[in-house]
Amino acid sequence: MNSFIKVLSLAALFTLATMSGAANAEQKLAVVNVQEVLQALPQVAVIEQNIQAEFADQIQEVQRLRSDGNFLLEKLQRERATMGADQIKELEGQVNALGQQLQAKGQPLQQNMQRRTEEERRKLFALIQQAIDGIASKDGYDMVLNSNAVPFSKGKFDISQKVLDQVSKIK
């Protein structure tokens, strides 16, 4: 029985020694700053232009309402002393009506533009992820971390420029 325990102990010790050697094998790591890559992509400017064009009519309408409201407010402040109570009440009513229209049109516009921007950003994040996967596979990286999650890394580990170059080529 003692010899069985000795053999089992030796086998366990050998297994642990083998596993620790494999665990200590050098791993190839890289970091990438995904936010920096996203901000530097030329596609971002194109997306912003497309979204502005997509919502151009609604943006103009909101800007017109804002301009009209500002004009009426300035008029009210300027001419309040010379206006009668009925005129002041009527002008305040117009300002309030424009404010309500502005809110009714401005909030949905802002939400729709934000939704479209997020849709396009998700597509770009997918392209960035594909580029990271491709570079990691090609260059033999075992792990690629977001640089925001790493407190310190040397520049030689940063593959952000490679990712940016690869994604920038995609139209």
State the average pLDDT for the chain: 85
Task: Say how far apart CA 23 and CA 76 lie, in whole Å.
Answer: 76
CATH code of the domain in which 10 resides: 3.30.910.20
Burial of 93 (0-12, 13-18, 19+ CB in 10 A): exposed
User: What is the count of structural domains for the chain?
Assistant: 1
The domain in which residue 125 lies consists of: 2-168
Query: What's the whole-model pTM score?
Result: 0.70
Asked if the model's pLDDT at residue 6 lies above 80, the reply is no
* Per-residue pLDDT tens over the stretch 8-63: 443 444 444 444 444 546 888 999 999 999 999 999 999 999 999 999 999 999 99
